[in-house]
Homo-oligomer: A and B are copies of this chain.
Amino acid sequence: MRVYNFSAGPSMLPLEVLDKVSKGMSDYGGSGMSVMEMSHRSKPYEAINAETEELLRELMHIPSDYDVLFVQGGATNQFSAVPLNIGTASRKADYAVTGNFAKKAYEEGSKFLDARCVASSEDKNFTYVPELTADMLRPDADYAHICYNNTIFGTRYSAVPDTGKVPLVADVSSCILGQNIDVGKFALLYAGAQKNMGPAGVTAVIVKHELTARADERCPVMLRYDNQVKNKSLYNTPPCFPTYVVCEVLRYLKALGGIDAMEQINERKAGKLYEYIDNSDFYSNPVQKEFRSIMNVPFVSPSKELDALFVAEAEKNGLISLKGHRLVGGMRASIYNAMPEAGVDKLIQFMDEFKKAHK
């Protein structure tokens, strides 16, 4: 029996997508092969690769002066690729530290250039998102870096910061496709697929073309954007199957009505969960309301013992992976695109039963 999986990533995929993937497992579209078996230089795979890019461009309204790349290594690999590719003019970059991954990006950046932390919410265990404005930045910084949605802490920017003339770079791993993102306000966006886009193993990079031609000469070849741009993400053998599943997810999302429709559903899912928590006088969420993520919802019960019991009992009820990250404790419900509204309803129902039993 299928479970409701609240994992922060890898996470649920639409059952329709899994069924379609399964059906083509030994013969995709009459090719006589699995997508896993296809040469990445073959016509059917090149069609998948091209369609994946086109669908992402269409769904996210990506302007034509941006390149769209599908690469390996996860968002973590972009922590290195960003400074090595675009941090090469002044070799200065300014970072906002709003959580664990934002901090890791900053630390990795420091290996390659003069990185400065210009805003941080570490003072309150990352329960809010600090202001970031153009006058906080060095005017000659090669870029300003943010993490748009903080998976572990359940926060997000309520609006895109205005960084003036400093190019804005964002890790959007945990919110891409889940909410509208105005791509034109960013110089570069990147996202691991394993939350809203598909399985782990492929990472999308959306980057202004003019920024792709200035890589550090010691940048490892697989991290170079120019190389992937020139080869349409097929410089070497790409992660074909994960990319194909992303393609199926994008097809599914398009048929559903695109990101506008998805965002409405996500707002509704998150809204009812936060509302229940806020009104429960048993559960609580520590995040300042204006910065609450609609993707990741951390919460606690009145005690650590009850938290542990909650996670264990939930699992017996088919509600999986609700344990919070060790940096936060308690519970966390990641309710990405593929989490059905019925899953959130069942979670709230379980929370209520648990509250009545243990209050």
Interface of A toward B, CB cutoff 8 Å: 1-3, 5, 7-13, 15, 18-19, 21-22, 25-27, 31-34, 36-40, 42, 72-77, 79-81, 84, 108, 111-112, 192, 194, 198-202, 217-218, 220-223, 235-242, 245, 318, 320-321
Contact = CB atoms under 8 A, between A and B. Distances in A.
Contacts of A320: 32-33
Contact of A201 (B5, B220, B240): B240
A26 B32 contact: no
B220 A80 contact: yes
A239 to B, nearest CB: 3
A336 to B, nearest CB: 11
Contacts of A200: 36, 40, 237-241
Nearest to A75: B236
Given A240-B199, A242-B201, A33 B19 contact: no
27 contacts: A1-B32, A3-B31, A3-B32, A10-B40, A12-B33, A13-B36, A18-B34, A21-B25, A22-B22, A39-B321, A42-B321, A72-B72, A72-B73, A73-B73, A73-B77, A74-B237, A76-B221, A108-B220, A108-B221, A112-B218, A192-B237, A200-B238, A200-B240, A220-B220, A220-B223, A241-B241, A241-B242
Contacts of A77: 72-73, 220, 222
Contacts of A192: 237
Contacts of A31: 3
Contact of A39 (B7, B19, B79, B217): B7
A3 B236 contact: no
Nearest to A243: B201
Nearest to A242: B201
Nearest to A111: B218
Contacts of A84: 220
Contacts of A32: 1-3, 5, 318, 320
Contacts of A38: 5, 7, 10
A298 to B, nearest CB: 16
A74 B222 contact: yes
Contacts of A239: 72, 200-201, 239, 242
A26 to B, nearest CB: 5
A8 B39 contact: yes
B26 A2 contact: yes
Contacts of A10: 36-40, 237, 240
Nearest to A325: B41
- Name the 5 nearest CB pairs between A and B, nearest first: A201-B239, A80-B220, A3-B32, A22-B25, A36-B199
A22 B13 contact: no
B194 A237 contact: yes
Nearest to A34: B18
**Interface-centre pick from A9, A42, A236 (highest chain B CB count, 10 A):** A236
A162 to B, nearest CB: 30
A119 B193 CA distance: 42
B5 A245 contact: no
Given A2-B26, A10-B237, A10-B240, 5 more contacts: A72-B73, A74-B222, A199-B241, A201-B201, A220-B223
Contacts of A198: 36
Contact of A74 (B3, B18, B223, B236): B236
